[in-house]
């Protein structure tokens, strides 16, 4: 039986850490996913975990023509089960950078693989999706319920509100594998943890925290500046800094990072390439992503700020037409915010700490720590 007993769960929680859930992270054709079970009996679904959105959705069993499939993976679609209830008249759509989905509200039992934990969760069953290349069955959004699909609570916040977790936090080690053109779905050792964090295993040093801005929608923090250092062969060393303040959003659903258009030239001046060179067709060699250069981002308030450095090699994303060439790490976009995506976040152990299980008492902060050598991503 997978029925949820409200009396037993808290006992398990304190007795044997049942309230800390570790999900293995797979890479399916560049998309990073974890598994959740839905329905009775539970069917496993691979879901893209995304800190930039808040909805749990899965493709509906009836969706064929309106859910085109150019992915290399089979998809496990959701069909209403004996414990499920569909609200066909409660509909909505969600627009992402990479696609748009439309569907209706469903309530059914969610199960956590590898545990006996199950609980009721509302999610969207998707009957139309333009995400044809998506190598997953849906999304698992990790941001605030305030931006989630109509009448749903984001799955992590729902689990906190049901009293199922030990600590009001989730944490991510994205894994050491990188998707490439020649091997887009490598074996991976990443772990997403809900209800706790494993910095003792993965982190090289302390997790450095700074606050998330209110009202909480996505993981947005204050940004204080950027500096870059380049060492040239011989003795020359060049240092530059940009004192611009703004906001930064941490988004695992974005592969690369986005920089406001007005700053993109200045940011590329800290790298081996000018923006103009990239705009006129130059494709960076992956060998140019090396530790002769680095960029450091500073987040937080003037009184309490934290700086995180990454070297060139840590920003390499191979597969820019072939694996000799790497994607330019920063894209320009027409917003005043920075988005740091998986190419930046993958270099750190990240802890998303809500400070409280109660939405009215949330005191959100995010923390990063460099990874121990053996856990650092490499091709």
76 touching ligand NAG, by CB under 6 A = yes
Q: Which of 184, 186, 211, 272 binds ligand NAG (CB under 6 A)?
A: 272
Helices and strands of the chain, counted as H and E runs: 6, 23
- Contact call for residue 320 and ligand NAG (CB under 6 A): no
Dist. CA 361–CA 170, nearest whole Å: 17
Q: Is 334 in the site for ligand NAG (CB under 6 A)?
A: no
Residues 6+ apart with CB under 8 A from 270: 226, 227, 228, 230, 240, 242, 293, 295
Asked whether position 87 contacts ligand NAG by CB under 6 A, the answer is: yes
Residue closest to 87 by CA, chosen among 67, 105, 60, 62: 105
Residue nearer to ligand NAG on the CB measure, 204 or 229: 229
> Does the protein bind ligand NAG through residue 89 (CB under 6 A)?
yes
> Which residue in this structure is represented by tokens 């964090």?
197
Span near ligand NAG by CB under 6 A; candidates 66-74, 254-262, 323-331, 364-372: 66-74
Minimum distance from residue 310 beta carbon to ligand NAG (Å): 14
Q: Does 288 participate in binding ligand NAG (rule CB under 6 A)? A: yes
Q: Which of 61, 68, 163, 205 binds ligand NAG (CB under 6 A)?
A: 61
Does 151 engage in binding with ligand NAG (CB under 6 A)? yes
Min dist CB 113 to ligand NAG, Å, is 10
Could you tell me which of 152, 170, 132 has the C-alpha nearest to residue 25? 170
SS3 category, 192: strand
Size of the site for ligand NAG (CB under 6 A): 25
Torsions phi, psi for 82 (to 5 deg): -60, -25
Q: In this structure, what DSSP letter does residue 371 have?
A: B
Q: What is the dihedral of CA 51, 168, 307, 54, to 10 degrees?
A: 10
Query: Which one of 75-83, 206-214, 254-262, 329-337 is the stretch in contact with ligand NAG (CB under 6 A)?
Result: 75-83
Which positions are catalytic? 50, 251
Among 4, 43, 256, 263, binds ligand NAG (CB under 6 A): 43
Pairing type for strands 348-353 and 169-173 reads antiparallel
Identity of the residue, 28 or 174, whose beta carbon is nearer to ligand NAG in the bound complex: 28
Q: From its phi and psi, is residue 39 left (phi > 0), alpha (psi between -120 and 50) or beta? A: left
Interface residue list for ligand NAG (CB under 6 A): 43, 61, 69, 71-72, 74-77, 79, 87, 89-90, 105, 115-116, 151, 241, 243, 272, 287-288, 290, 292-293
């Amino acid at each position: 039986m997978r029925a949820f007993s409200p009396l037993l769960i808290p006992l398990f929680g304190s007795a044997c850490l049942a309230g800390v859930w570790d999900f293995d992270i797979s890479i399916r054709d560049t998309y990073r996913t974890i598994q959740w079970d839905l329905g009775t009996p539970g069917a496993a679904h691979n879901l893209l975990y995304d800190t930039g959105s808040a909805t749990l959705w899965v493709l509906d069993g009836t969706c064929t023509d309106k859910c085109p499939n150019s992915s290399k993976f089979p998809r496990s679609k959701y069909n209403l089960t004996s414990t499920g209830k569909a609200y066909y008249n409660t509909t909505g759509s969600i627009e992402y950078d990479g696609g748009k989905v439309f569907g209706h509200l469903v309530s059914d039992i969610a199960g956590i693989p590898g545990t006996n934990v199950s609980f009721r969760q509302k999610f969207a069953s998707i009957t139309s999706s333009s995400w044809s290349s998506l190598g997953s069955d849906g999304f698992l959004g990790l941001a605030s319920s305030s931006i989630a699909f109509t009448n749903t609570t984001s799955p992590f916040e729902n689990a906190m509100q049901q009293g199922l977790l030990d600590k009001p936090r989730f944490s991510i080690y994205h894994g050491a594998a990188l998707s490439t053109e020649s091997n887009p779905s490598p074996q991976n050792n990443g772990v997403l943890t809900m209800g706790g964090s494993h910095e003792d295993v993965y982190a090289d040093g302390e997790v450095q925290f700074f606050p998330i801005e209110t009202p909480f929608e996505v993981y947005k923090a204050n940004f204080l500046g950027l500096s870059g250092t380049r060492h040239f062969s011989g003795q020359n060393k060049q240092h530059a800094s940009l004192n611009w303040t703004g906001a930064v959003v941490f988004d695992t659903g974005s592969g690369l990072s986005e920089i406001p258009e007005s700053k993109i030239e200045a940011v590329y001046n800290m790298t081996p390439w000018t923006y103009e060179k990239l705009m006129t067709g130059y494709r960076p060699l992956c060998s140019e992503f090396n530790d002769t250069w680095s960029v450091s981002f500073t987040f937080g308030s003037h009184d309490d700020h934290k700086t995180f450095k990454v070297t060139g090699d840590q920003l390499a994303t191979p597969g820019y037409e072939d694996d000799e060439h790497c994607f330019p790490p920063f894209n320009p976009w027409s917003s005043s915010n920075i988005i740091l995506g998986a190419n930046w976040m993958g270099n750190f152990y990240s802890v998303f700490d809500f400070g409280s299980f109660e939405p009215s008492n949330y005191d959100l902060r995010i923390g990063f720590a460099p990874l121990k050598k053996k856990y650092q991503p490499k091709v």
